[in-house]
């Protein structure tokens, strides 16, 4: 991962109450680790291990320690840290930088920031923010729905009926997350969260009707801001030799942002109520998560019966 200080400052102004003290021209410096370091040990002269690729936060402890030293010593200790080419320094509790700190920042061209937060809170919030800003993200073609807590992405060629199926599901009381284009982001726990593009959020296009605003038509219960992706359902036109799953014991797999998800390939044919089938697939998936795999259990029962008969 890597993130420029400029990006961190822009996104951190509100969330981290971050402001720049010095170093406007050096905001292209890059942070390569999302954790934040408190340089207390390094200030005492211990450099056998020093997380120099991280942002360094000066809190109350660091300040109190530095103030216990005379100016020459303070300059010497601080120089040791600057020599390690750290990406940037943040001062907590909105303190003014000590003169030595400011001078060294200018000498080594390392930006100096300030936050109103106390150190521990800043460390938590900034780690979260950096994680968010550097999370892998992408945009995939497909309509995202939430069915009883299961995040379902509907995929398929244009005109196959994704939006129409989604509409039927919304009428049944499930929620729309995104129509046709879904933004995805992988969080630090490896979950893939799906949400809609800011601009087109909660709108969908129904062929022959045009663009509709879902919450206006169906109420706020019909929408959800984001949902965790659980399974992908692909609609395809019915072919007799299609390689679709017949038992559900080994569903297909699809990767989204390098995370594997079960993929169900559903043939669409006249008279098939797709909403009903997508609903069944989602509920069956929920059952599997709860540890009840109907297909597997039936298979085990069948095998068990056959083994007894074969042995007899």
Can you give the binding site for other proteins, defined by CB under 8 A? 240-241, 243, 246-247, 249, 295, 298-299, 302-303, 305-307, 309-310
Residue 121 beta carbon to other proteins: minimum distance, rounded to whole angstroms: 55
Residue with tokens 């969908």, as numbered in its chain = 204
**Minimum CB distance to other proteins smaller for 259 or for 295:** 295
**Minimum CB distance to other proteins smaller for 215 or for 267:** 267
**Minimum CB distance to other proteins smaller for 14 or for 241:** 241
Q: How far is CA 226 from the centre of its chain?
A: 11
**Minimum CB distance to other proteins smaller for 132 or for 245:** 245
Residue 247 beta carbon to other proteins: minimum distance, rounded to whole angstroms: 4
**Minimum CB distance to other proteins smaller for 243 or for 258:** 243
d(CA 263, CA 232): 5
Residue 1 beta carbon to other proteins: minimum distance, rounded to whole angstroms: 43
CB-CB contact of 56 with 89 (8 Å): yes
**Minimum CB distance to other proteins smaller for 7 or for 299:** 299
- 61 three-class SS: helix
Which residues, 6+ apart, have CB-to-CB distance to 268 below 8 Å?
156, 160, 161, 235, 236, 237, 238, 274
Residue 241 beta carbon to other proteins: minimum distance, rounded to whole angstroms: 6
Residue 297 beta carbon to other proteins: minimum distance, rounded to whole angstroms: 10
At CA 145, angle to CA 144 and CA 147, rounded to 5? 150
Residue 24: exposed, middle, or buried by beta-carbon count in 10 A (0-12, 13-18, 19+)? Answer: exposed
Residue 307 beta carbon to other proteins: minimum distance, rounded to whole angstroms: 7
d(CA 201, CA 205): 12
């Amino acid at each position: 991962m890597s993130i420029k200080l400029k990006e961190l400052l822009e996104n951190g102004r509100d969330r981290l109450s971050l402001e720049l003290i010095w170093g406007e021209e050096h905001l292209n410096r890059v942070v390569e680790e999302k954790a934040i370091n408190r340089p207390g040990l390094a200030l005492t002269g211990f450099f056998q291990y020093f997380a120099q690729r991280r942002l360094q936060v000066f809190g109350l402890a660091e300040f109190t320690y530095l103030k216990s030293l005379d100016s020459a010593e303070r300059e010497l200790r601080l120089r040791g840290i600057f020599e390690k080419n750290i990406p940037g320094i943040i001062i907590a509790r909105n303190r003014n930088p000590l003169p030595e700190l400011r001078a060294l920042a200018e000498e080594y061209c390392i930006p100096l920031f300030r936050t109103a937060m106390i150190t521990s809170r800043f460390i938590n919030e900034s780690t979260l923010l950096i994680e968010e800003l550097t999370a892998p993200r992408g945009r995939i073609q497909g309509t995202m729905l939430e069915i009883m807590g299961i995040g379902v992405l509907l995929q398929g060629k244009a005109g196959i009926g994704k939006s129409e199926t989604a509409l039927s599901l919304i009428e049944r009381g499930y929620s729309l997350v995104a129509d046709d284009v879904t933004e995805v982001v992988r969080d630090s726990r490896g979950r893939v969260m799906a949400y809609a593009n800011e601009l087109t959020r909660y709108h969908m296009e129904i062929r022959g009707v045009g663009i509709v605003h879902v919450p206006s038509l169906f109420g706020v219960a019909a929408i959800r801001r984001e949902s965790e992706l659980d399974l992908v359902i692909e609609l395809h036109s019915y072919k007799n030799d299609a390689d679709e799953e017949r038992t559900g014991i080994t569903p297909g797999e699809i990767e989204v942002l390098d995370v594997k998800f079960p993929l169900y390939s559903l043939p669409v044919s006249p008279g098939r109520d797709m909403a009903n089938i997508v609903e069944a697939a989602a509920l069956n998936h929920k059952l599997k998560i709860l540890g009840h795999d109907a297909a597997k259990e039936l298979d085990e029962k069948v095998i068990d019966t056959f083994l007894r008969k074969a042995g007899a």
